[in-house]
Structure 1
Amino acid sequence: MNDYEINAYSSEEELIENEARPRVFRRRPNYFEIYDPQDFFVRFRLKPRTVEMLLEELDEAISHPTERNLALSASQQLLLTLNFFANGSFLRVTGDFQGVSAATASRTVHRVSRAITALRPRYIQMPEGEEIALVRQKFYNIARFPRCIGALDCTHVKIISPGGNNAEVFRNRKQFFSLNVQAITDSNLKIRNIVTRWPGSTHDSYIFRNSNIYAALERGIYGDSLLVGDSGYPVRPYLMTPLHETRNEAEALYNESQIRTRNVVERTFGVWKRRFPALAMGLRLNIGTTQAVVVATAILHNIACNVNENVPPVNAAQEAAIDFIQDIPIINEDEAHQYVGRINDNNRARYNLIYNYFRRL
């Protein structure tokens, strides 16, 4: 646990008065029977069939050993948690939806989110082996950018102030408290890698330099494969960023292709947050549970992609195609060497790609 997590509120539950009151057992409806598939999807963001499949994987992990005190069943716990992800409201409202207290809702969201995160090795992983060639081909089909296996970026997930002496490190440049979440996505809008441990004030490039995926790329685990990122990241032999200015048509073509290829990560964030609005509206949970919720919703997003769940509406501007430059004249070799001679080794990889590939398109 990081130092800035120690003084974080345990959850909304801590704000509830601890006065003794008689227990009230409310009615707990069966939402699989009450709602048709469309209404069910609106409230839980997944189809009944997908939830039942997920329940099979989580049943053992979240089931209570006995039914004493009318404990929530595994199905009820999962639906309560999915409803919280889907509406982003207060825990009291989520608890009322399933007929339990806010305290029980808080414990349930934490319990189920942790159980879902245990599925991470199965549903969130970078491409390996033969899959690498398939991922590279799909990225190439977008805008003819070669050897790409992922688009890299960060997004902010709004949180309440965690309190304590270090709360301000969570305040980002837009002046609200957040986690800065790094993700690598593929062309199918699936999240292939995710990092959730950094406060909102942390710069994107710092998060990347301190991530496991950075170490793997430095070791050459993925061979000549590339990531694409925005100008907030430093260029590396394995990370291609856009040029700040273009001086010829090969460089313009590189930028156009890089931007279109990188656009998938922005689209992924949009779909992910529309699928689970709690991420966009803000989480009123402790830091540990918030991190678990972020990873859990990423896993659920990937499951939804795997089974072709309905995609929530996204901004049409994010889907708009960028006109692609087709007619590129051959650039004089001396000009190419002139540019390459003025750059360091990291930039050299980018310019080699431009002049050995994009000038020939």
Structure 2
Amino acid sequence: MSLLREIALETSSSEDEIEVEYVRNLQNRKKKVYFQRTNRFLTWDENSFLDRFRVSKTVARVLALKLEPFLLPPTTKNFAITPIQQVLIALEYYACGSFQRCIGDTAGVHKSSVSRIIYRVSRAIANMRQEWVSMPQNVQEMEKTATRFYEISAFPKVVGAIDCTHIPIKSPGGEHAENYRNRKLFFSMNVQAICDADMYITNIVARWPGSSHDSHIFNSSVIKGRLEDGEFAGYWLLGDKGYAIKPYLLTPLRDPVTDGEKLYNESQIRTRNVVERMFGCWKKRFPALSMKIRTDLRRVQPIIVATAVLHNICKKMRDPVPPARIVDDDSSDEEDPAYEVNRNDENNRRMLINNYFNRLHR
């Protein structure tokens, strides 16, 4: 029995009526639209390209070449989107955080393809994290890092500055949505980062909702375990008052009295300030981090980590700093500590003040 006859029996219609309806539906089907895609490397000069994509043409080409094995389409038919076109779509999203339909109209791609491309490219870049985002690996690297920190304000043996920043996101919805509302009442991811004196990101944790306290994120992180295992013995992280004092993490004194204590606080704050400047530089290059990331929650983390990797790549390749855009970055969230100071953990700070800063002041 033919398919038309089976359908006719089920619908009480004749085979001719079914065939006519089928032909009519084919004629009324929406025709597939192919957007025109221009070569944006040729369209824009170097400065205009940097302003629109926040990286130079050189970095974009190197990135596309690096990611080509992961982005190659299975076929060249049907106007397949090339790796370099996919990279530019993702970079444009990081650069403006615009609606994906607008990016698709500019790139000549449907918005559904834009969404998939941003996720695919972000994951591919984020997978380069181990190569581009890492703490010092040996004593020589730790000593070099400490020397660069010492040049800022004479604070010794610093291996990194740590802090958290809020990345705004759209409401994730569901019963746990309010977990992502931070103290400033907008939805966000609270992202922990460690950087060195040259503002390279050396560690990043981008999986906690905006309501999470900075110290809770640190206490749950892998880097804390590495510090407690003595991997960076003899060196310190510097943090703000939102963290508890630890043998490996030094924070400012709440009420400095002596000249040595005041000098310690001044040096600690000036040296730690590099992480605040790093956040500013990171978000200046990729303004989407300061705006609301309008994508599904599961796709937010790859975007954040990908931009951290790109930040380090741009610094390594001495990429020009893109023109500033007016972005209201109200993401700093230093908090009062929710803990009591452990006197044993404070010994290192007290010894450093007595044996170093008191003498330095004289």
Taking a change above 3 Å as real, the CA distance of residues 302 and 253 of structure 1, as seen in their structure-2 partners, is same
Instruction: Indicate if the aligned counterparts of 1:270 and 1:314 stay in contact, CA closer than 8 A.
Output: no
Instruction: Indicate if the aligned counterparts of 1:190 and 1:302 stay in contact, CA closer than 8 A.
Output: yes
Aligned partner of 1:346 in structure 2 is: 345
Instruction: Indicate if the aligned counterparts of 1:172 and 1:200 stay in contact, CA closer than 8 A.
Output: yes
Instruction: Indicate if the aligned counterparts of 1:158 and 1:179 stay in contact, CA closer than 8 A.
Output: yes
Deviation per CA, 1:152-195: give whole Å up to 9, x if none. Answer: 00000000011111010000000000000000011111110000
CA distance in 2, matches of 1:61, 1:76: 13
Deviation per CA, 1:44-92: give whole Å up to 9, x if none. Answer: 1111111111111101111112123212100000001000100111111
Aligned partner of 1:208 in structure 2 is: 218
Aligned partner of 1:318 in structure 2 is: none
CA distance in 2, matches of 1:273, 1:190: 14
Instruction: Indicate if the aligned counterparts of 2:245 and 2:342 stay in contact, CA closer than 8 A.
Output: no
1:311 Cα deviation (Å)?
A: 2.5
Unpaired runs of 5+ residues, structure 1, are 1-19, 316-341
1:141 Cα deviation (Å)?
A: 0.2
Q: Aligned ranges for residues 1-361 of structure 1 at < 5 Å? A: 21-129=30-138, 130-312=140-322, 344-361=343-360
1:310 Cα deviation (Å)?
A: 1.9
1:314 Cα deviation (Å)?
A: 7.2
Deviation per CA, 1:285-312: give whole Å up to 9, x if none. Answer: 1112110000000000000110111224
Instruction: Indicate if the aligned counterparts of 2:289 and 2:304 stay in contact, CA closer than 8 A.
Output: yes
- State the TM-score, normalized to the length of structure 2: 0.85
1:21 Cα deviation (Å)?
A: 4.1
CA distance in 2, matches of 1:193, 1:348: 26
Aligned AA for 1:124? V
CA distance in 2, matches of 1:166, 1:33: 46
Aligned AA for 1:97? T
CA distance in 2, matches of 1:175, 1:70: 44
Aligned partner of 2:334 in structure 1 is: none
Aligned-residue identity in percent? 47
SS at match of 2:346: helix
Deviates more, 1:344-353 or 1:305-314: 305-314
- State the TM-score, normalized to the length of structure 1: 0.85
Taking a change above 3 Å as real, the CA distance of residues 74 and 155 of structure 1, as seen in their structure-2 partners, is same
CA distance in 2, matches of 1:21, 1:220: 64
CA distance in 1, matches of 2:116, 2:77: 17
CA distance in 1, matches of 2:178, 2:156: 41
SS at match of 1:181: strand
Instruction: Indicate if the aligned counterparts of 1:80 and 1:97 stay in contact, CA closer than 8 A.
Output: no
Taking a change above 3 Å as real, the CA distance of residues 178 and 53 of structure 1, as seen in their structure-2 partners, is same
1:32 Cα deviation (Å)?
A: 1.1
Instruction: Indicate if the aligned counterparts of 1:185 and 1:192 stay in contact, CA closer than 8 A.
Output: yes
Aligned partner of 2:6 in structure 1 is: none
Unpaired runs of 5+ residues, structure 2, are 1-28, 326-340
SS at match of 2:78: helix
CA distance in 1, matches of 2:113, 2:31: 15
CA distance in 1, matches of 2:196, 2:32: 49
User: How many aligned residue pairs are there?
Assistant: 316
Instruction: Indicate if the aligned counterparts of 1:271 and 1:314 stay in contact, CA closer than 8 A.
Output: no
Aligned AA for 1:57? K
Decide which structure has the larger Cα Rg and report it. Answer: 2
CA distance in 2, matches of 1:279, 1:239: 27
CA distance in 1, matches of 2:342, 2:216: 23
RMSD: 1.4
1:247 Cα deviation (Å)?
A: 0.9
Aligned partner of 2:14 in structure 1 is: none
